[in-house]
Amino acid sequence: MSKKSIYIYIISDSAGETASKLAQASVAQYEELDITFIRKTFVSETAELMEALEGALADEAIIIHTMISKEFIQVANAFCAEHDIFCMDLLSPLVNEISKRSTIEPNRIAGAVHSLNQDYFNRISAMEFAVKYDDGKDPKGFLEADIVLLGVSRTSKTPLSLFLANKNLKVANLPLMPQAHIPSQLWDVDPKKIVGLTNNPDILNKIRQERMRAYGLNPDTAYSNIDCINEELKFAADLYKKIGCVVINVADLSIEETASIIIDELDLQDFSFFG
């Protein structure tokens, strides 16, 4: 039995990422379908829009559009209504409702969420900061950071740093080992900016063994030894208590969930616009 072929046209006067993500999330539910995505993005002329709409009509396609131009929206919706094409206008309902409630007209700027404004440059700067001050490379970064993450190996410090950087937060992190020196700069940081990460010993044991196997090495080393792991976790717990910082066990948490807890605990909600 051959797979049924369905065309989905993504039409936008910007990058069309919102419509693409929705379409991909939807078709992921259907393994037995042959889905073809046709992207018509950065549409800037009515002629371009009409060409895309005519193509969708010929392919008997589904249309998902994210256009902010009133003219383009009216043309697309009218065309789809006339030709009985299934059409999803993703932006208009919410944009119009916000306008109605606020009595403020939208600026109608295509791709406004991706514009190169100061927030964009702040985010890039935060990403560069996270890379520069990853794994305690330069303890001076602790004093400039919005958040300092502490944790033993494999407690998600680096991915968390990058995820939080995408919310414009400057994050430095420091790996903890009983035999390692704690940089003096750490004691000059406000404890309210420090987060201690921990994990369950058995989970760390499995994660570290898998890491060794991935490198083609013996999985049973001091790095994955459960007694050594318990020693590391006790060292970290004692340090966190001494600092008086927030402590989060990441054992059953995704990166997103851990980041959300950090933002709430440190009262940094104003930075989470891009989440």
Q: Is 154 annotated as a binding residue?
A: yes
Q: Are 142 and 185 in contact (CB under 8 A)?
A: yes
Q: Is 167 annotated as a binding residue?
A: no
Q: Is 151 annotated as a binding residue?
A: yes
CA distances for 97 relative to 28, 69, 91, angstroms: 30, 16, 10
Residue 37, classified by CB atoms within 10 Å of its CB into exposed (0-12), middle (13-18) or buried (19+), is: middle
Q: Is 153 annotated as a binding residue?
A: yes
- Neighbouring residues of 69: CB distance < 8 A, sequence distance ≥ 6: 13, 108, 110
171 token code pair: 């994050």
Q: Is 157 annotated as a binding residue?
A: yes
138 token code pair: 């330069």
Query: In a 3-state reduction of DSSP, which class is residue 28?
Result: coil
Residue the block writes with tokens 């932006």: 91
Q: Is 141 annotated as a binding residue?
A: no
205 token code pair: 């044991």
Numbered residues of the known binding site for ADP: 151-158
Numbered residues of the known binding site: 151-158
